[in-house]
Chain A
Amino acid sequence: MKKDKRDYKLLFELFLAFFKISPITFGGGFAMIPIMEDVMVEKKKWLEKEKLVDIFAVSQSIPGAIAVNSATFVGYQIAGIPGALAALVGIVLPTFGIILVLGVLLASFQHNIHVQAALEGIRPVVVALIGSAAYKMSRVSIVDKTSLAIFVVCLASLLVFKSLNLILVIFLGAMVGISISKVTKTLKQTVSVSQKKVSSEKL
């Protein structure tokens, strides 16, 4: 009985911690990292820093929003499946409310001429925002000539063949990565074998 109470208290604390972090994280997942470290590691001492770093790494490699993924992971790590759900609801609920209010406001004012003019000024900035996201992510994603080639081929084919299925393109990208690593591995092996032959012939 006593244990149950403590469990609920922990779950509520988890929920509350993420409920408070969520509305102050502008700009998505990466903006959340230092705040989460401060709360989870320093203040609450729920988990070690290394574990949190691992969680962020894994959260980036599974699909979905990085902020939501890492919150769910942290909750899972601390209190199992109930913990994951508590953290998830905590991180999603506040921003869900905020974006809904903004959506309602936009819907009611979008025909106002000043709002229309403002939106016309904002649209190019949205394009810049998307472009800058690509640029920033490219610095860790496009690391050599091969990955640059994958990027160029992908972009060019999307521009030329307008009806390409994006999900298929993403899947193909992963397949290309695997095939390239297989090919380079075989090449390396052949090279080392032929080098061995050469050296043994010399002997």
Chain B
Amino acid sequence: MMMYVDLFITFFKLGLVSFGGGYAMIPLIQKEMEVHHWLNMSTFTDLIAVSAMAPGPIATNTATIVGYKIIGYSGAVVACIAVTLPSVLLILVIGKLFFKYQDHPLVKAAFYGLRPTIIGVIAYAAIKFAISNGIIGGSNFIDIKSSILLVVAFIMLIKTKFHPAYLILISGLIGIVIF
């Protein structure tokens, strides 16, 4: 029972502070997994891959699959509800106020500082994932094959409209051939 409460509180908290949607939530979930010793980094990376490949929001997808991995089906339900609840409550309780205050100077100023901070947090997540998956900073310092995959994928993602889901599938096939 304690496990469920813990899972619920964790994802509720994450839902409350994940400004900027799914990718902003990834580093936050990762930190919680580390604190609670729930998942190791490579397992978590695989779960993100599945979440990004599946349709739907990355945030709820990641919460659901992480909850499943930790406790099973009931964990998936708990994590998914917990992560959506804060924003839904916000919308239902003060939904109308958002339209009124979104152009308020104070709100604009807060977001001016919030946005680059979120980018910093996401960039940090990318670096941290690269290190903990042994792509950089591992025994060879730079894992050549993985690094090439990383760089090519990054360029394709920012320069072309190639869909991430296909990119994940193709890299899986490449993985089978080269690893």
A contacts, CB < 8 Å to B: 22-29, 54, 57-58, 60-69, 72-73, 76, 81, 84, 88, 91-92, 94-96, 98-100, 102-104, 106-107, 110, 114, 116-138, 140-142, 147-148, 150-155, 158-159, 166-167, 169-182
Contacts and interface: CB of A to CB of B under 8 A. Distances in A.
Nearest to A118: B172
Per DSSP, are chain B's interface residues mostly helix, strand or loop, or mixed? Answer: helix
Contacts of B90: 62-63
Nearest to A98: B54
A24 to B, nearest CB: 6
Given A167-B13, A175-B113, A178-B113, A121 B119 contact: no
A24 B165 CA distance: 12
B112 to A, nearest CB: 4
Top-4 shortest CB links A-B: A121-B175, A177-B113, A173-B117, A95-B56
Per DSSP, are chain A's interface residues mostly helix, strand or loop, or mixed? Answer: helix
Given A124-B150, A127-B126, A173-B114, A65 B73 contact: no
Given A72-B88, A103-B69, A126-B49, 11 more contacts: A22-B55, A57-B102, A72-B91, A91-B56, A95-B57, A96-B64, A137-B115, A142-B115, A147-B115, A147-B116, A154-B124
A118 B46 CA distance: 10
Contact of B45 (A69, A126, A154, A158): A126
B117 A72 contact: no
Contact of A107 (B69, B102, B150, B151): B69
Contact of A150 (B13, B76, B107, B117): B117
